[in-house]
Every structure is written in C-alpha cells, then in structure tokens.
Structure 1
C-alpha cells in the first residue's frame, strides 16, 4: 500500500539510524533497538504521501518525516514505562531491557532530537502543529489513566480519548505533508480530515484486535486493555448490551485481575455484537476518509490513499 513512497521510507530508515547516533553509547544502543524493532512507519508514510501532491525536494521534507517517527517512538517508550509493558511487536521493550529510568530519558531525548532536526527548517505553523499534537497526546494519556477500571463510560468518552491519543497525531502527519509542499488551506484541511478519520479507525481496530487476535499477531498479551482496566469500545458496548453486564462490570473494576477473570470477561464480550458494532464504526470512519481525499489527487496516488484505508479496515496486527 506504500509502494508510492517506498523509496522515501527506505531512505527514512537510513536517516533514522544516522540521527540517533550519540557519543553516549547507551543512547545509541537503546535508540537503535527501538528502530530495529520495526513498525508500520504509518505516520511518516502518510506524511510522504501527502507531499506527493506536488514535486518536492526530498532534502527539504525528510527532516519532518524523521521528526514525526522519532516523536512516535518517544511516545511508545513512555507508554511502555507507564504500562510496565515487557513486549511490543513481539520484542522486548526498552524498559524491560534497560529499566524505566533510562527509558524515560531516551523518550525525552527522542522528543528533543525531533525538534532539533526541524527547528530551523519548519515554519512556525508546522512547529505549532507538532507541539499541539504532543500536548493532545499527553492529555489523552492522562484522560485514559484517570478513567481506568471505571465502567460508567460512554462511547463519546472513548472517542474523545482516542482522538487525543491516536487520531490527532495521524491527522497532524497528513496536515504537515500538505504544509510542507504549500498546498492550499482547503487541500491541507482535507488531508488532515483524511488522517483524522484514518486514525480513529486505526485505534478502534487496535482495540478490537486486543480482544480478538492472538498474542503472536499483535505482539502482546490478548486482553491487555481489560487487564489494565482500559475501557475500549467493545467493552463499552458489552457493558451496555450484555445480559451479564453486572458480572462484566465487576470484572472491569477488578485491579490485578486473574487470567480466569480476563477469559470470562472476554467470553461475555464475545457473546454480544460488540465486535460487529465496533467494526461498523471503523467502516464509517474509513468511508469518510475515502470521501474526503482531495479531488486533485488522482491515479495511482489516489489509489494509494484508498489502499491505506482498506488496510486499516482489514488488518489483523
């Protein structure tokens, strides 16, 4: 789906390994571990796709792509510390290898490195987009932490939270691509809306996979959200519609829940239409994303935007 920016992404990998090199060997080692752990590179890929609307100087647009991925990596490192996660994408997390203290500092280093790369290259408008989205992600994380193990949540609460934690950053990546090549206000806004809708669908799909996929597929334990008291859309739906809602409510509110309770909670969820309903919301967001693609994006370029939306709806990892 990213064939149109394949060469850009290959160059990005090389540049990532170059910019994280530090005289302090531990910084280089941990940062290299994070890069080699892989990932979809979804955000910089979308950024590159949005710059293809016009002929662009790769040397001029690459620093922002690197910054976007470094910021994403930084948030994942901090998330793993907060969640005390041992694995991500099936590989050991930085905190499980080097401890929380070093991992927090590496996250801070990656944030700083990202802004160092673009400080003298990006416009004030682009820098504001980046700083605003980091604020939004932090607010979303605090919001999520405050709401753990609470069962009185509505779908609107959940949507607002994933907007801040996930969708805003994907939206910003698309917006930054438009700004980097000087697209019109309307075109840039449309790209942002595309990214936002894609991001909402992406996170809902993530939360569906948490209760449907195998540990091998998602690279972390199944039911991890339930285990951490994170109330996602499938759980919210089941809490509203299951004949065993009181039992599920008790399970969701249990801290340090046993594996038996997790299995029972997932069983109750799967007895409802929670998964089907959640996928219907994914379909709604993805259809909007397809509809809002700017009219001037044509041919294989447009097909690439559609292919990304299709991937989000069908992915199983």
Structure 2
C-alpha cells in the first residue's frame, strides 16, 4: 500500500494543482482513499486484465466526478459507509466509458499517453472496460440503495444512447444546436449531474435540494463538454494530450462547427470537408481555419458562461458556505481551463 499511497500523493498534488485555490481540499483525504481503493478493486489474477486496468488508473485525470460526488455529499449528513464505494464506482464507470470510447474512435493517445487499445488491441480493451463496469457494480453493492442504483444504471443507458447517436450522425453537417446539446447531455452532462445527485442523496438533502444539485451538475457538465469541444479546435496537441482537430477528423459536429456552418461565407467548403469519410491533414487544417475565421469560439464560450452562471445560481442556499464556495470554484475552473 505504500506504493499506492506515495503514487497518489503525486497524483493528488497534480489534481489539486489543476484547480485554483485547491478547491477539493475539503475532500482531499477522501480522494486519497478513492485512489487507493481504485488500485485495490481492479486487481485481477489475469495478468493482462491487471496490466490494462493499472494503466488506466495511472493515466490519472481530474477525478472530477467522484470529487463532485464527495463535495455534494458534504452538503448534509451523509452515511459515510456509502461514500467511498460510490465514489469508486463513479470513477470506474467513467474509466470504462473512456476505454470503450477510445476503441470506437480508434484513438491512439489520451492525456498524452497511449490508449489501452493502442497498446493491447481492441478485444482486450473492450473486455477490460466490461471488467471495470462489473467492478463498479461490485463496489456499489456495498453502499448504494435501490434508488441510487437506478440513477447509475439509467445514466449508463443514456451514455450508451448518446454514443450511438453520435456514431449515427458522424459526418453529417445537417445538425443543429438542439441535436448537439442533447448529445452533450447524454454523453457527458448527465453523468456529471448524476454524480452530484448521488452526493446530494447520500447527504440526505430534501427532494428539492437534490434536484437543484443535479441541475448544478448538468450545467457544469454542459459547460465542461462545450469547453472540451472548443479546446479541440484552439489548444495544442501537448495541452490536449491528443491530436488537435480530432473531433473534426472523426466527423463529430461540435458547437463551433455548427456555428461556422451557419455563419461562415465558406460554409459550403466546410460542409464538403465534413462529409468526407477520410479527411486528409490539409482538410482538417482548412476546416479549422474556416472555423477560426468566424466568431464560433467566442459564441461557444458565451454558451459556456451561461451554463456556468446558471450552475452558480442554482445551488441550494442551505449548503454550508465551505461546500458552496468549493462548488462555485469548480464552475470558475471550468470556465478558465485550457486543457
């Protein structure tokens, strides 16, 4: 356990430094426990499963979902026996979906590291993703009641539907903002909302407060994903840990693309690029140029700011000042992040 503890101190410092003012300090001890339990629960007697699972945990990430769950649970008087298993399950589900996404997208890097499918192939990666889902529900069985279990199973179903919708609509330029927002909700925002909702449920908040906390999470998730889609166009490969313009290359029509398709004088050229199943590097470069020549980035950031302001405003007034300040700081971070 010393290895895991020491390693998490590094991961923990990295995670906290990613957020201004150490906004997860009040749940940092819980996050250390989550990290340790992640390593414990993924252990398998099958060496390949163990190797892939450890690789995924070591890839790190912000641990945003379990951190939000733990923060929201601090909004009341939680049953602490439920917190660690649920927090671990939330992160395992997130990891499993990322593994499956990388296989679907044929991604070679994530967070600057080789993906599991790039190292071990699609078959082993998909099965390891399934293994992580199973481990998640093994953890949930310890601490979740039926209502909480339903929240998790429902959101996994929605994420799968969102992924299928995205695949179906790939390379389709005839999408509008309503289509995009629904897909973002399904693929990203609903899970972040569920993480917050589960925290509020664990805290024993009343029904209205649970709804408000869930709505906060939804707004954070929408803003987070729109920011991701902006950064795919504006950030460097070093910042992203994956190639720039990757969404465009895969035919994923994001909010900046939708804006450019509607407002650019070169919309027809952009449309012809999007419908190509095999874009060249020059196609991607030209598509990004067309987007940058419009106000697509500014418009998209304006939508991010609307969601974040709603997140700040919807928080229940009954939350402690410490918890509320931390949740507001998360919103501030999402609006400022560059990675």
Above 0.5 in TM-score? yes
- What's 1:296 paired with? 318
CA deviation after TM superposition for structure 1 residue 120, in Å: 4.3
CA deviation after TM superposition for structure 1 residue 59, in Å: 3.3
CA deviation after TM superposition for structure 1 residue 124, in Å: 0.6
- What's 1:157 paired with? 179
Q: Distance in 1 between matches of 2:220 and 2:232?
A: 18
CA deviation after TM superposition for structure 1 residue 57, in Å: 4.5
3-state SS, counterpart of residue 202 of structure 1: helix
| 53-62 or 289-298: bigger deviation | 53-62
1:92 aligned to 2:120? no
Q: How does 1:38-187 map to 2 (within 5 A)?
A: 38-187=60-209
Q: Distance in 1 between matches of 2:59 and 2:136?
A: 19
CA deviation after TM superposition for structure 1 residue 55, in Å: 3.8
Q: Distance in 2 between matches of 1:60 and 1:15?
A: 14
**CA offset digits 1:237-274 (Å, max 9, x no partner):** 00000000000100111111111111111001000000
Instruction: Mark the runs of 5 or more structure 1 residues left unpaired by the alignment.
Output: none
- What's 1:263 paired with? 285
Matching residue within 38, 46, 63 for 1:24:
46
- What's 1:225 paired with? 247
**What's the Cα RMSD here?**
0.9
3-state SS, counterpart of residue 254 of structure 1: coil
1:11 aligned to 2:5? no
Matching residue within 208, 212, 221 for 2:230:
208
**CA offset digits 1:47-72 (Å, max 9, x no partner):** 00011012435333100000000000
Q: Distance in 2 between matches of 1:76 and 1:118?
A: 19
3-state SS, counterpart of residue 231 of structure 1: coil
* CA contact 2:76–2:200 (8 Å) conserved in 1: no
CA deviation after TM superposition for structure 1 residue 84, in Å: 0.6
3-state SS, counterpart of residue 49 of structure 2: helix
3-state SS, counterpart of residue 143 of structure 2: coil
1:248 aligned to 2:270? yes
3-state SS, counterpart of residue 172 of structure 2: coil
TM-score scaled by length of structure 1: 0.98
TM-score scaled by length of structure 2: 0.92
Q: Distance in 2 between matches of 1:3 and 1:110?
A: 27
Q: Distance in 2 between matches of 1:13 and 1:118?
A: 16
3-state SS, counterpart of residue 119 of structure 1: helix
Instruction: Mark the runs of 5 or more structure 2 residues left unpaired by the alignment.
Output: 1-22
Matching residue within 256, 260, 275 for 1:238:
260
**CA offset digits 1:200-238 (Å, max 9, x no partner):** 000000000000000000100000000000000000000
- What's 2:55 paired with? 33
Divergent runs of 4+, >2 A = 54-60
